[in-house]
């Protein structure tokens, strides 16, 4: 099956999911991602042997943009994670969510998100990637805000959308610059083109920063990470799928995909390693102060995302291998643990780890699954997480990471040990707390639909730890795609007594020590109001409030309610923009002037100037209307003497009607007809009007100074009679050659006239006294 067919089927699954959830059994929806998983897995041998599967579908041929799909090692591993974990999530959600009118909408949005993620990771065109990128933001907004009746749900959905979309706008600017510099928007061509010479400072740094902003917003890097934890208000299937295994890794995917082209920029390593380390440290601190299981897991996800960004920034073959390995490790145990947290909440009625305990007695299957995932999270052999942690330390040693960065990496991994202990030991071992006993709830293992998916993920973590060579070829193809050169990693569970093993023991010891003091550390961090008052989440609220205040100030400044102010602003801005553009583009020109043939026409400018002065000196609306009409009649005389009688008579008619209508309107206005403007306001309006007129004079001089192209005039002269059977060129142009344009103008005028008539008669009806029936009806309504 072709790649475009797989993407089409993934989007087609959205209406199928809606109908199935509404009229059938939602448990069968897991077949959709399962079939897609098989479809992508069938391409695995080709990808690992040949490197990539490519397909192009024309989208906007005029701009050279096509929907290009490319499945290589990196995109394949993402596609398998999206569809494989998606199968478990769909099955889990069918039992987790109550069946109501919202369920079909949930599964449709979840299917759209899955399809958008697949499109983003296999897209080989930057604009195609951007379209799917924004679709993931939109679908995640719908999923996070699944329960719009809750203010917290609405706020979290809005926060996630604003941050990720704002980052997407920055990324758009970055990819436009990158595509223009490279001469193509095809990602595979950019990666094979030597763009390092083009991406020199400062343009290279600008491109990197813009793209990194988009990646950091999507992958919740500091200080744009607060939306991820707040998104935990969404149902647990959403948390497990969007914000631990797939969507939040889209920024990681983007940086990994573009690393062969951007890694030569000097800012690459300092930027990514710096941001990644700060994200790891902040995520670890925030995770230690939480007791809600989902929020704890969310902050450890931030730690893991910082780790992945740091590994990409190191730009070393070992770091690349560690990155793709840890990518799979994290997806397996984190999706599993999120579903475990949902099972605990579903059964015990709470996710608060401070009151949970002894759940293994009544939930043995859940306890076994949770312990296996927590062992992988803590990096304990023989789980796959141990291999991932060893590779991280090997990459840090091989790249000679700084002492500070090395310490942050060790602390981040120690945080994983602490969280694993909190979930596996505090929640499942020991005895239930008095609070849990008093709640009256009896924990129990959920149905097989809920625990079968987490069980498969936990078993995969064990199997891949014992036999990592099963996935070695896929990881090698993925690392090769990221590094841009062939990488052949050798994954083994045991490497002997190495520095990496010693660091793993140190990490385990530090994590154990922190776990033993976790209750006191958690209380101390919770009491620290500095984080709540000045953390990124609080700063987001302040920024949003400041934006609202700024918008109110700006609205009050611009939307004054004065038509005169609107006209002055519009005319002034047009005048200034036109004059500035002409000066900057050296478009000022003066046509040749001559006095030959000037006679009576010389009097007209004097009359027009005098009439204009009358307009400026008018103290009432009536005087101003009559003076303006005088100016219009003077212009009509100019047309008449200039050999355009049709325009002159049109101008005479328009001016006559305008004067009559305006005088009629002024006569019915309920307020005074004198000019209420102050002298200062009148001088301002005089200046704006003079500049507007001067702008038109300059534009007309510049236009007349240009060489006149008579080809269009010749066409109308030659074609008016043979084609339109008319000798009046103006009439033929208006009625025949521009018939649709004229029809549009007539339609607009007719609609405006009908609207004016409707407003006039409705205003008249409002002023009429109410009869007895109408008065009675009005009283009944009140």
Of 245, 222, 184, 219, the residue nearest 56 (C-alpha): 184
Nearest-angstrom CA–CA distance, 778 and 360: 68
Name the residue among 42, 28, 31, 41 with its Cα closest to residue 9.
31
For residues 365 and 459, give the distance between their C-alpha atoms in angstroms, rounded to a whole number: 13
Surface-to-core class of residue 31, CB atoms within 10 Å of its CB (0-12 exposed, 13-18 middle, 19+ buried): middle
What is the pLDDT at residue 766? 52
Domain assignments of the chain as residue spans, ordered by start: 528-559, 565-592+600-708, 712-782
The confidence score (pLDDT) of residue 455 equals 92
pTM of the model: 0.78
Half-sphere exposure of 233 (CA within 13 A, CB side): 23
65 forms beta bridges with 60
Overall size of the chain counted in residues: 782
For residue 409, is the peptide bond before it cis, meaning its omega torsion is within 30 degrees of 0? no
Which candidate, 70, 162, 77, places its Cα nearest to that of 119? 70
State the alpha helices, DSSP H only, in 293-383: 293-314, 317-348, 364-378
Instruction: Of 235, 250, 220, 225, give the one whose Cα is nearest residue 145.
Output: 235
Q: Which residues in the chain show pLDDT less than 70?
A: 62-65, 101, 196-197, 201, 243-245, 433-441, 593-602, 667-677, 760, 762-782
Angle of helix 472-483 relative to helix 73-96, nearest 10 degrees, comes to: 120
Which pLDDT belongs to residue 196? 66
Residue with tokens 């620290």: 528
pLDDT value for 695: 87
Q: Report whether 199 contacts 207 (CB < 8 A).
A: yes
Residue 491: the pLDDT is 82
User: What percent of the residues of the chain are helix, what percent strand, and what percent coil, each to the nearest 5?
Assistant: 75, 5, 20
Taking CA atoms, 477 is separated from 38, 252, 471, in Å, by: 19, 17, 10
| Per-residue pLDDT tens digits for 294-338 | 888 989 999 999 999 999 988 888 888 999 999 999 999 999 999
84 by Cβ neighbours in 10 Å (0-12 / 13-18 / 19+) ranks as buried
Q: Are 234 and 93 in contact (CB under 8 A)?
A: no
pLDDT of residue 213: 93
């Amino acid at each position: 099956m072709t790649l475009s067919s797989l993407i089409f089927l993934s989007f087609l699954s959205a209406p199928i999911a809606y109908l199935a959830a509404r009229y059938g059994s939602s448990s069968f929806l897991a077949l959709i991602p399962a079939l897609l998983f098989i479809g992508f897995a069938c391409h695995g041998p080709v990808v690992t042997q040949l490197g990539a599967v490519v397909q192009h579908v024309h989208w906007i041929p005029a701009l050279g943009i096509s929907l290009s799909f490319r499945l290589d090692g990196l995109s394949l591993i993402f596609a398998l994670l999206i569809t494989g974990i998606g199968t478990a999530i769909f099955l889990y959600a069918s039992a987790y969510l109550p069946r109501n009118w919202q369920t079909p909408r949930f599964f449709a949005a979840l299917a759209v998100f899955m399809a958008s993620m697949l499109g983003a990771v296999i897209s080989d065109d930057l604009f195609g990637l951007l379209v799917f990128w924004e679709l993931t933001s939109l679908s995640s907004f719908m999923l996070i805000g699944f329960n719009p009746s809750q203010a917290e749900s609405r706020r979290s959905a809005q926060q996630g959308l604003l941050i990720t979309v704002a980052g997407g706008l920055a990324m758009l600017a970055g990819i436009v610059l990158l595509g223009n510099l490279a001469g193509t928007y095809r990602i595979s061509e950019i990666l094979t083109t030597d763009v390092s010479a083009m991406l020199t400072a400062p343009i290279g740094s600008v491109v990197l920063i813009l793209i990194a902003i988009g990646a950091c917003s999507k992958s919740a890097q500091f200080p744009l990470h607060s939306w991820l934890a707040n998104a935990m208000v969404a149902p647990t299937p959403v948390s497990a799928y969007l914000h631990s295994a797939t969507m939040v890794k889209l920024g990681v995917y983007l940086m990994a995909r573009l690393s062969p082209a951007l890694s030569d920029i000097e800012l690459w390593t300092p930027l990514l390693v710096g941001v990644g380390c700060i994200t790891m440290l902040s995520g670890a601190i925030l995770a230690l102060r939480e007791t809600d299981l989902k929020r704890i897991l969310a902050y450890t996800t931030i730690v893991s995302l910082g780790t992945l960004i740091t590994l990409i920034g190191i730009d070393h073959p070992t770091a690349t291998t560690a990155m793709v390995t840890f990518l799979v490790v994290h997806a397996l145990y984190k999706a599993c643990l999120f579903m475990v947290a949902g099972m605990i909440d579903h059964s015990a009625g709470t996710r608060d780890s401070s009151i949970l305990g002894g759940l293994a007695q009544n939930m043995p299957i859940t306890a076994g699954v949770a312990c296996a995932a927590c062992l992988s999270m803590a990096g304990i052999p023989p789980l796959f997480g141990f291999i991932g942690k060893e590779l991280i330390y090997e990459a840090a040693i091989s790249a000679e990471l700084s002492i500070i960065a090395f310490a942050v990496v060790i602390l981040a991994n120690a945080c994983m040990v602490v969280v694993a202990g909190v979930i596996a030991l505090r929640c499942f071992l020991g005895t239930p707390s008095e609070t849990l006993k008093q709640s009256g709830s009896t924990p129990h293992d959920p149905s097989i639909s809920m625990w079968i998916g987490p069980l498969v993920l936990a078993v995969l973590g064990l199997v891949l730890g014992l036999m990592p060579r099963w996935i070695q070829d896929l990881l090698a193809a993925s690392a090769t795609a990221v590094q841009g050169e062939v990488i052949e990693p050798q994954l083994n569970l045991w490497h002997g007594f190495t520095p990496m093993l010693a660091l793993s023991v140190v990490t385990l010891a530090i994590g154990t020590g922190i776990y033993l003091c976790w209750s006191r550390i958690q209380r101390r961090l919770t009491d620290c109001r500095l984080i709540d008052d000045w953390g990124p989440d609080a700063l987001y609220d302040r920024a949003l409030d400041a934006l609202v205040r700024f918008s109110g100030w700006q609205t009050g400044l611009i939307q004054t309610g004065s038509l005169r102010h609107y006209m002055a602003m519009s005319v002034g801005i047009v005048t200034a923009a036109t004059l500035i553009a002409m000066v900057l583009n050296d478009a000022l020109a003066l046509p040749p002037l001559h006095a030959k043939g000037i006679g009576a026409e010389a009097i007209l400018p004097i009359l027009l100037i005098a009439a204009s002065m009358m307009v400026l000196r008018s103290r009432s609306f009536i005087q101003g209307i009559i003076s303006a009409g005088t100016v219009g009649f003077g212009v009509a005389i100019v047309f008449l003497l200039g050999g355009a009688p049709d325009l002159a008579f049109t101008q005479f008619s328009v001016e006559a009607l305008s004067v009559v209508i305006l005088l009629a309107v002024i006569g019915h206005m309920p307020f005074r007809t004198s000019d209420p403007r102050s002298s200062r306001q009148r001088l301002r309006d005089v200046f704006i009007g003079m500049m507007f007129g001067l702008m038109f004079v300059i534009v007309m001089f510049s236009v007349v100074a240009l060489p006149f192209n008579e080809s269009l005039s010749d066409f109308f002269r030659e074609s008016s009679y043979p084609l339109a059977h008319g000798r009046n060129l103006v009439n033929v142009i208006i009625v025949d050659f521009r018939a649709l344009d004229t029809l549009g103008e007539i339609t607009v005028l007719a609609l405006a006239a009908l609207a004016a008539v409707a407003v006039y008669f409705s205003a008249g009806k409002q002023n009429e006294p109410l009869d007895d029936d109408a008065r009675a009806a009005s009283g009944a309504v009140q």
